[in-house]
Amino acid sequence: MKEFPVPWWLFGTAGLMATTLTVGAAARLTRTGASMLYWKPHAWYSPETESEWHDEFDVYRDFCSRSQRTPMTLEDFKHNYKWESAHRILGQVTAITFVVPLVYFMANNKIPTAAQAPLALIAVLGATQLQFSLLIWTGLGMISPVSRAITVRGLMTPGVLKEMGEVRKLVMAMTGLAATTLFAGSLVAEIDGGREFQTFPKMGNRWIPHGLFEQKPWLRNFHDNVALVQFDHRLLALGTLAFYLTVFMKARKVSIWTNLPEDAKRALTLALAAAGGQVFMGATMLVNEVPTPLAMAHQSGAALVLGSSLWALHSL
């Protein structure tokens, strides 16, 4: 731990980011809209007395009447409020965990020059998936620099090197496909699409549901039409798993596997297991009407799939 303080800080921040997304998934699953209607960064607490809860609830109900959102009971409001509060606090803790050490490490010249640009990009980005990927990739680069990989490749024969290059290209495509599938999953969560078509492998009684492009303009279907959004995610998830299995079997070829770094073997195995687990959890979640604990596990699993894929790519 003392040998690699900066990489472990990056991995820790990535872990906090994944946890924040997981709690955010639970907050979305309440399906009751925003219960915390204003931001109080200095106030890390929930209402305590019944009077305080009623005051907060009155503000929410006033908002509901104007926005025509579905109202909820006080008990539902309390439950949702606590999830949203936890989500916001975790978001602030994650930001502090990243920014404060960043300032310290930069001031003390602890960050290698090659890592400074990615970290600066993380600081200004709003795309969480890209931030997470950059954190993992930059941390891996500090633990296992490119120079080490170049040295290992220099010991390989031209034939093995060519095969390794093919595997690396496949892993790169695999990682991109995983990121696309994760994005498609976020669209499902955004419109609460898991509450419909709760059967698997068919959607209802059909392999391809009706009404995939019924909304106008047609591009709107890709983010607002539950049938198409869920269908896309299913296809991508199954395609991703099939591709992960194909890449793994390619890498298991004797001439490749015996020359792979141990990190690459572990990462590829973990990535395949994580992808399989994600498909299983996704299907189980659907047919069980999206229980919150399983939905949170599914969200965490998405981070594991992406993180292990990046590890596999970096180790090749």
pLDDT 10s digits, 179-209: 999 888 888 887 778 888 888 998 888 899 8
- Contact assessment for residue 309 and residue 180, using Cβ atoms and an 8 Å cutoff: no
Half-sphere exposure of 216 (CA within 13 A, CB side): 0
Q: Which DSSP string corresponds to 143-203?
A: HS-HHHHHHHHHTS-HHHHHHHHHHHHHHHHHHHHHHHHHHHHHHHHHTTGGGS---SSSB
pTM: 0.77
Handedness of CA 245, 187, 93, 111 (dihedral sign): positive
Who contacts 222 (Cβ-Cβ below 8 Å, separation ≥6)?
187, 228, 229, 232
Mean pLDDT of the chain: 80
DSSP code string of 243-277: HHHHHHHHHTSHHHHTTS-HHHHHHHHHHHHHHHH
Interior angle at CA 186, CA 184 and CA 191, nearest 5: 100
The pair of structure tokens assigned to 181 is 């599938």
Domain boundaries in the chain? 1-143, 147-316
60 to 44, 64, 88, 213: CA distances (angstroms): 19, 6, 17, 35
For the segment 114-119, the average pLDDT, to the nearest whole number, is 69
Alpha-carbon gap, residue 30 to 62, rounded angstroms? 19
Contact 17, 135 (CB under 8 A): yes
Report d(CA 35, CA 80) in Å as an integer.
7
Over the stretch 238-283, which tens digit does the pLDDT of each residue have? Answer: 999 999 999 999 999 988 898 888 888 999 999 999 999 999 999 9
Task: Say if residue 68's pLDDT is above 50.
Answer: no
pLDDT in tens, 222-249: 888 889 999 999 999 999 999 999 999 9
Task: Name the band, by pLDDT with cuts 50, 70 and 90, for residue 3.
Answer: very low
